[in-house]
Structure 1
Amino acid sequence: MTAVIEKRSVPRHRVLKGATIAFDGNGVECTVRNLSSNGAALDVASPIRVPPSFMLVIEADQFIRRCHPVWRSDKRIGVAFD
């Protein structure tokens, strides 16, 4: 078995929360898959529509953070909080 080396400075916790990527009066629905004090991984229908900077809003938790994408895959993006 190969050990996985964690590169994040703060460990993320698995979650499954509905959220909104808010920018310029628009919103794109997403699902938060993991979360830390420094960032998150988000599932989105199309990462192409995600701007270079936006607010992540998790209404159920009254959570709002400005963030920016740091990596992208087919339908998931990793974001860092500003």
Structure 2
Amino acid sequence: MIKIISTSEKLNIILSRIGMTKKELAEKWGISQPSISQKFKENNWKESDLKKFCEITGFEYKIVFTEKNGIETI
């Protein structure tokens, strides 16, 4: 069975791979570390948040729509 990981889990993996802490992310973002931690805890990410995260970390993201059977359609 394939386990789908949350957005927060994916972002944590990126931070780990580039060696950036949530505190450093918050400083570069211009918000408090507790605010960043809350986003991760609640898995509460707006599209604008993802764009900002990618701007800071040097990544990009793509939105992919799939049918319930798992076939990528768009």
TM-score using structure 1 length = 0.22
- More relative contact order in 1 or in 2 (CA 8 Å, sep 6+)? 1
**Higher Cα radius of gyration:** 2
TM-score using structure 2 length = 0.23
Higher normalized helix content (fraction of residues): 2
